[in-house]
C-alpha cells in the first residue's frame, strides 16, 4: 500500500510494514512537513488533580513566559486555596514516586529471579503440554477405531453417535486446556516486567527533567490526586502500593531541599529476605487488567 498525491493505492508488492505502522509514519511525516503547526504549550500535571478544599479541578497557567502555576479553578464556589509552582509540584511528585523507585541493580536481580521462575514454570508446562498432547492422540485413535467398529457393524449407529459425542467433548476440552497452557506461559512475566520497568524509569525521567514522563508514571502508578495547602497527596495503585511498602527506603534520605537520588537506596533491603520474596512472588503471580 502506498500513498500518491493523497490517494491510497494497493501495491503489487508484498507489504513490508503493517498498516498500523504505515499510518503512524504518515502521521509523523505530515506533522513534520506542516510549517503552520504551532507548538502549543501543554501543562504536564494538569487534568487529573482535584482541589482538597472545594473539589474543583486543578488547572495551570504560564506567567511572564517563565513560571508555571497550578491552582484551583474555583468553579465550585468559594475557595481559599493558593497556587503552587510547577517546580515545587514536580519535587513533591518525585518525592512520592521515590517510594516505588527501583534502581538498576535491583531491577537486574529481580529479572534474574523471574527468569529462574519462568524456567521452572516452563519445565512444568512442558510436562503438562506433552501429557495433554498424548491424551489428544489417544482420543483421535479411539475415534477412528470407533468408526471402524461402526462400519464393520460391530456397534449400532446409536452407540456410535453416543460414543462419538463423548470423544468430541473430551477432545475440545483437551484442546482448550492446551491453548490455555500456551497462553498463560509468559503473561505473568510480561506483567511483572512492566511493573518493575515502570518503577525503574522514575530515575530516568528525573535525570532528563522530563515532566511529561513523570506525569505519565504518576498516573500509571497512583490515583486520587488531591492538592491542598500546596501539598499533593495520592495513593499508589495496586501493585505499586505493595512495592512502596516493601521497598527499602529510609525516609531520612529525603530532605525537600536536596534531591533524594544521590543517596536513595531504591532497592528491596535484602532482596531475598522473607518479606521481599513474598512481595516478588506475589507480584509474579499477580493477576490484573493493569
Ligand atoms: Zn478549590
pLDDT at 89 > cutoff 70:
yes
pLDDT at 100 > cutoff 80:
yes
Q: Is residue 222 part of a domain?
A: yes
The average pLDDT across 134-163 equals 94
Ligand 1: centre distance to CA 267 (Å): 38
Whole-number pLDDT of residue 70: 97
Are residues 182 and 205 both part of a single domain?
A: no
Whole-number pLDDT of residue 283: 79
Q: Is residue 43 part of a domain?
A: no
Query: Rounded CA gap, 89 and 59, in Å?
Result: 13
Give me the domain span that covers residue 120: 107-188
Are residues 148 and 175 both part of a single domain?
A: yes
Top-confidence range, 49-53, 106-110, 129-133: 49-53
Q: Is residue 220 part of a domain?
A: yes
Whole-number pLDDT of residue 254: 44
Query: Rounded CA gap, 164 and 138, in Å?
Result: 14
Are residues 126 and 176 both part of a single domain?
A: yes
Q: Is residue 42 part of a domain?
A: no
Q: 64 Cβ partners below 8 Å, 6+ apart?
A: none
Q: 229 Cβ partners below 8 Å, 6+ apart?
A: 52, 81
CB 264 within 8 A of CB 124: no
CA atoms within 13 A on the CB side of 76: 13
Are residues 204 and 279 both part of a single domain?
A: yes
Alpha helices (runs of H) in the chain, residue ranges in sequence order: 19-33, 86-97, 104-151, 157-184, 187-207, 211-221, 240-246, 274-285
Q: Is residue 174 part of a domain?
A: yes
Query: Rounded CA gap, 47 and 57, in Å?
Result: 7
Handedness of CA 92, 98, 104, 105 (dihedral sign): positive
Are residues 111 and 76 both part of a single domain?
A: no
pLDDT at 142 > cutoff 80:
yes
Are residues 180 and 225 both part of a single domain?
A: no
Question: Please, which pLDDT band fits residue 281 given cuts at 50, 70 and 90?
Answer: confident
Ligand 1: centre distance to CA 59 (Å): 10
pLDDT at 7 > cutoff 60:
no
Matching residue, cell 543517596: 263
Q: Is residue 80 part of a domain?
A: yes
Share of the chain above pLDDT 70, in %: 74
Whole-number pLDDT of residue 62: 93
Domain count, the chain: 4
Ligand 1: centre distance to CA 47 (Å): 14
The average pLDDT across 53-78 equals 94
Ligand 1: centre distance to CA 52 (Å): 7
Are residues 112 and 178 both part of a single domain?
A: yes
Ligand 1: centre distance to CA 229 (Å): 10
Are residues 208 and 265 both part of a single domain?
A: yes
Ligand 1: centre distance to CA 212 (Å): 24
Question: Please, which pLDDT band fits residue 12 given cuts at 50, 70 and 90?
Answer: very low
Q: Is residue 40 part of a domain?
A: no
Ligand 1: centre distance to CA 202 (Å): 29
Are residues 254 and 216 both part of a single domain?
A: yes
Are residues 182 and 247 both part of a single domain?
A: no
DSSP string for 32-48: HH-TT-------TTTTS
Are residues 217 and 263 both part of a single domain?
A: yes
Query: Rounded CA gap, 147 and 132, in Å?
Result: 23
Are residues 209 and 277 both part of a single domain?
A: yes
Q: Is residue 181 part of a domain?
A: yes
Sort 280 into a burial class: Cβ within 10 Å, 0-12 / 13-18 / 19+.
Answer: buried
Amino acid at each position: 500500500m502506498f500513498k500518491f498525491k493523497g490517494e491510497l493505492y494497493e501495491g503489487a508488492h508484498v507489504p513490508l510494514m503493517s498498516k498500523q505502522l504505515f499510518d503512524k509514519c504518515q502521521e509523523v511525516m505530515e506533522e513534520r512537513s506542516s510549517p503552520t503547526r504551532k507548538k502549543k504549550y501543554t501543562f504536564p500535571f494538569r487534568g487529573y488533580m482535584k482541589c482538597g478544599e472545594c473539589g474543583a479541578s486543578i488547572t495551570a497557567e504560564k506567567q511572564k513566559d517563565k513560571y508555571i502555576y497550578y491552582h484551583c479553578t474555583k468553579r465550585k464556589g468559594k475557595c481559599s486555596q493558593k497556587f503552587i509552582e510547577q517546580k515545587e509540584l514536580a519535587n513533591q511528585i518525585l518525592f512520592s514516586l521515590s517510594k516505588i523507585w527501583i534502581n538498576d541493580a535491583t531491577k537486574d536481580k529481580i529479572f534474574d529471579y523471574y527468569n529462574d521462575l519462568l524456567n521452572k514454570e516452563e519445565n512444568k508446562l512442558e510436562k503438562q503440554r506433552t501429557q495433554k498432547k498424548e491424551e489428544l492422540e489417544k482420543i483421535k485413535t479411539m475415534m477412528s477405531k470407533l468408526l471402524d467398529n461402526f462400519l464393520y457393524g460391530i456397534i449400532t449407529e446409536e452407540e456410535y453417535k453416543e460414543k462419538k459425542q463423548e470423544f468430541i467433548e473430551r477432545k475440545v476440552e483437551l484442546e482448550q486446556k492446551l491453548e490455555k497452557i500456551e497462553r498463560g506461559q509468559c503473561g505473568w512475566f510480561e506483567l511483572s516486567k512492566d511493573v518493575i520497568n515502570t518503577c525503574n524509569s522514575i530515575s530516568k525521567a528525573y535525570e532528563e527533567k522530563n515532566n511529561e514522563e513523570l506525569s505519565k508514571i504518576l498516573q500509571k502508578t497512583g490515583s486520587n490526586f488531591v492538592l491542598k495547602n500546596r501539598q499533593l497527596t495520592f495513593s499508589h495503585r495496586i501493585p505499586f502500593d505493595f512495592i512502596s511498602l516493601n521497598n527499602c527506603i529510609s525516609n531520612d534520605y529525603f530532605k525537600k531541599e536536596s534531591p533524594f537520588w544521590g543517596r536513595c537506596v531504591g532497592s528491596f533491603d535484602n532482596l531475598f529476605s522473607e518479606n521481599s520474596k513474598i512481595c516478588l512472588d506475589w507480584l509474579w503471580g499477580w493477576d490484573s487488567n493493569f
